[in-house]
Structure 1
């Protein structure tokens, strides 16, 4: 019976599956508007096509939760959404299946944005961390991170993600480093010291955020005058608020799907990921939330109004910086430790 089930599960995407074997697939996202978009664009269509029931779980990127499952041999998460630096580190640590070499995935590489296919995962959308503000609360619109640090011209609290990633890059941009030179500068001890010294100047004015839903809440309530934020979180509430995005100085990245090592049914996870990368699914996701497709054929199919809010829109992309996942895989642990120690100091 097990052999029959394994054979049935190896069928190509598009075959009709019954509800019998491995009927549940747990897919873990980062929640919020992103999760809602994934449910509509990915989970529900996949269930309708295959009969496989998607269990939608979520987490805040705590890789320890993946590690304990792998280390104890009790993997309950089939497919997990990860940011690219976390993906690289988890892959190096042997926590993930090597799905990038699977034919079903590798053959799609030429259809996707460069860098989407990684050894242990596949990027499935492009997103940006940007400067956001409430136009109802500010008389003058900020134009970039220099303004974010200007507490005289823009008095009041501002919010940054509680972590080294993105925060250090923004600090260097505010200190005059050209976007193209950010990671060159940040890779040196002098550059890191410079970033923390710049953060010192704004520390009393910072209200930290840790979950993606918090920046739009802080901005809408007037708790802060500006915030770093995920562009999709801001776009999701723009119909009911006057929150706006400054693309200049934004950092764009991909979120990837990965499969934890030792999962009971990696083939089903691969089929799900393959379905997510198809043109129609990519278009549907971008229509739900203002994140950019990794499938290049899907980009021009998205409504023009929606594209203007996407990080992959040509006009928006020109003023942003690509996240250097390799830098954060190499330096992330040390810089996060330093950041945490700095954050608790009075």
Structure 2
């Protein structure tokens, strides 16, 4: 009974009717969801004549799992973090995706050779490479004192004021360790030990009383815009969109970034399985990935999509310097270890929640 209640609660916010004649895509809302709507959902629907809609979630992995376990699946395609795509695939929650359904690059290179390493998995296809970074409001911090390192985020003496952080262990613990001087190559080795976990939380202790926690991607730039925080971690594309498309005085600090693939996946029992596969093939084609990258500053996961310059939808802003995989942005960066989080997610989030609740 308790499990049924939990599933019913999880499904309550997503009680959309499943339609065999309409494709439902679930993503993260805000600038990211808008980018996928404009780059993928609308043009695919226009091309095929098959109705499609986008719905939002703070984290699509949760309703996907709940719907599949309840046997009431209304989502056809979901945008998932890499570790979640691997974990849910292992749990039998996602449909398998044969790489043979994916088109070759525009240069004729087969998909298996065109996608970057690790960008196509058993149940997911990468839509982009995104990063957890941090940003600040340039009107609140003088240029001659601008933060440039992960350590600066934790320096309350030099930069007094509230901080925004994503509410969860993933990405936050890695960032804390890099800010504490752990080299990116040693982060997961350190975090695999009790002493390393303690070290990460000890670093977080130094700012805990000044943290404003956010959960949805759109909240982070809003915290900056409202002046609730002086700096905040955020998804890099959300800060870029706020700065370039909305004219906000925000600047990204790339030092200590944690980057990973985002994946399109299909929940087990999706009402429009074949159309879902067609949609993913279209969206992750060379042109589909380029179109998304021209709407938000996440790097496309196909080599062919990077052969021509990418320009933001404003027609003038070059995207290359603004994506996580730009050479200059990778100097002190970390690629998220999906296997680490598949194995340790529950354990470390339990520790994180206990730490959060403690005085």
Query: Aligned match of 1:97 in 95, 98, 106?
Result: 95
- Per the alignment, residue 213 of structure 1 pairs with 218
Q: 1:272 to 1:24 in 2, by over 3 A?
A: same
- Per the alignment, residue 40 of structure 2 pairs with 42
Asked whether the equivalents of residues 293 and 299 of structure 2 are also in contact (C-alpha less than 8 Å), the reply is yes
**1:80-99 deviation digits (Å, cap 9, x = unpaired):** 11001111111121111111
**1:235-290 deviation digits (Å, cap 9, x = unpaired):** 11113111000111101111101111122332211111010111111111111111
- Per the alignment, residue 307 of structure 2 pairs with 300
1:341 aligns with 2:354: yes
Query: Aligned match of 2:151 in 132, 146, 152?
Result: 146
Q: Which moved more, 1:59-68 or 1:218-227?
A: 59-68
Moved over 3 A (4+): none
Matches within 5 A, 1:93-242: 93-99=91-97, 101-105=98-102, 108-139=111-142, 140-239=145-244, 240-242=247-249
Alpha-carbon distance, 1:312 to partner: 2.2
1:263 aligns with 2:261: no
Alpha-carbon distance, 1:102 to partner: 4.7
Query: Aligned match of 2:21 in 23, 30, 38?
Result: 23
- Per the alignment, residue 55 of structure 1 pairs with 53
Figure out how many residues of one structure are paired with residues of the other and give that number.
325
RMSD of the TM alignment (CA)? 1.6
Asked whether the equivalents of residues 96 and 258 of structure 1 are also in contact (C-alpha less than 8 Å), the reply is yes
**1:56-110 deviation digits (Å, cap 9, x = unpaired):** 11111153422232123221100011001111111121111111x3521496221
Q: Specify the SS of the correspondent of 1:130.
A: strand
- Per the alignment, residue 326 of structure 1 pairs with 339
Asked whether the equivalents of residues 109 and 116 of structure 1 are also in contact (C-alpha less than 8 Å), the reply is no
Q: Which moved more, 1:263-272 or 1:310-319?
A: 310-319
Asked whether the equivalents of residues 85 and 123 of structure 2 are also in contact (C-alpha less than 8 Å), the reply is yes
Q: 1:62 to 1:41 in 2, by over 3 A?
A: closer
Q: Specify the SS of the correspondent of 2:92.
A: coil
